[in-house]
Amino acid sequence: MAEGGPDRSLIYAGAFDQFGNNRAEMIASLPEFLSSVELSGDNLELFEALAPKIQRQPDLSLSEKLEKENEYLGAYLSGHPVEQYHDLAISRHTVSIGDLAADQQVNLLVYVTKVRTIRTKRGDQMAFVTGSDLTGEISLTVFPNLYRRVSTWLEKEQVVFVSGKTETNRGGLQVVANNMTAADQLQPSAQQNSGELPPAPRWFLRLDQEHDTPAATTKLFALLSDHTGDVPVILYRLKDDSKRVLAKQYWPVADEQLQHELVLLLGEQNVVFQRKN
């Protein structure tokens, strides 16, 4: 059983969110509520008389909510901040934390939950950063040269884009960061267009709920890269009703073999090639 007992676990898991009080308020009032239950026994009227008045206070931060949800449930129920950068993740070829292996050069999008700074023997500052995505948590090592460049803005509760190399440390994985950028300062190449759709010939590809996953999109971009050409690709996401023209590096040829492979990957109803009129 997690520390704090089952009642605290249920609060952190969001089981009582619909009752009008935030999680911080309920956690603070929990000892008095439990005392009231013990004193009143099965007498509902006595419990109502003894029940404490919940004092208003600020809710837990998103970072705290995510940490507790993951601790008690092993999942993020409040929605993970990395999700809003789906298009950026695709265009930058990021890897999910859960798919990391040792000795890889990787790009990551992580939500920063902890920043711990130390000084080296030379007196230079560096940092150990803890970040998470939907699939897990990872430790990032930021050496002095990089830390000097990012120290003015690097802090908790923000999404950052990280490039670096995975290493094994004490039996677990960590990433030695080569570069870090705040995600909100980056624009995915798929969005860097005027908003006007290119004329035919063009590919229309739809990501429905079944295929809107990191694994499927990684395979899709690898497939498009293997069939380099000059035909624009318009990607439609059913999840958020968004439409994007992919960067030219992902424009493929127009041939039946590619169409067959796209259909196998995304489903026949999600692949359309529009010929020039």
Q: Rounded CA gap, 272 and 229, in Å?
A: 17
Same domain, 180 and 194: no
Collect all residues with Cβ–Cβ distance below 8 Å to 21 and sequence separation of at least 6. 29, 54
Q: What is the pLDDT along the chain (277 residues), one digit of tens a residue?
A: 344 555 778 888 777 777 778 888 888 888 887 887 788 777 777 767 777 778 888 888 777 887 787 777 766 666 688 887 887 888 888 999 988 999 999 999 999 999 999 999 999 999 999 999 888 899 999 999 999 999 999 999 899 999 999 999 888 899 999 999 999 888 654 444 445 677 889 999 998 888 888 778 878 888 988 898 999 998 888 877 777 788 777 889 999 999 999 999 999 999 999 887 6
User: Taking the model in full, what pTM does it have?
Assistant: 0.54
Query: Is residue 233 located within the same domain as residue 259?
Result: yes
The reported pLDDT for the residue numbered 129 is 97
Number of alpha carbons in the 13 Å side-chain half-sphere of residue 188 = 19
Question: Would you state the pLDDT for residue 41?
Answer: 78
pLDDT at 34: 81
| pLDDT confidence of residue 107 | 94
How many Å apart are CA 27 and CA 110, to the nearest integer? 28
Q: Which two tokens stand for residue 244?
A: 């994007």
- Same-domain check for residues 195 and 163: no
Separation CA 49–CA 38 (nearest Å):
13
Domain boundary (17, 38, 73) is at: 73
Q: Do 178 and 104 sit in the same domain of this protein?
A: yes
What's the total number of domains in the chain?
A: 3
Place of tokens 């996401």: 237
252 and 208 in one domain?
Answer: yes
Asked which of 50, 73, 96 is the last residue of a domain, the reply is: 73
Domain of 96 in residue numbering reads as 82-185
C-alpha–C-alpha distance, residues 129 and 154, integer Å: 9
Length of the chain: 277
Last residue of a domain, one of 134, 152, 185: 185
Query: What CATH number does residue 164 fall under?
Result: 2.40.50.140
67 and 109 both lie in a single domain: no
Specify whether 181 is located in the same domain as 194.
no
Per the CB < 8 A criterion, the answer to whether 154 and 115 are in contact is: yes
Residue 213 CA to residue 218 CA, distance in Å, equals 8
120 and 177 belong to one structural domain: yes
| Whether residues 30 and 92 fall in one domain | no
Residue 16, classified by CB atoms within 10 Å of its CB into exposed (0-12), middle (13-18) or buried (19+), is middle
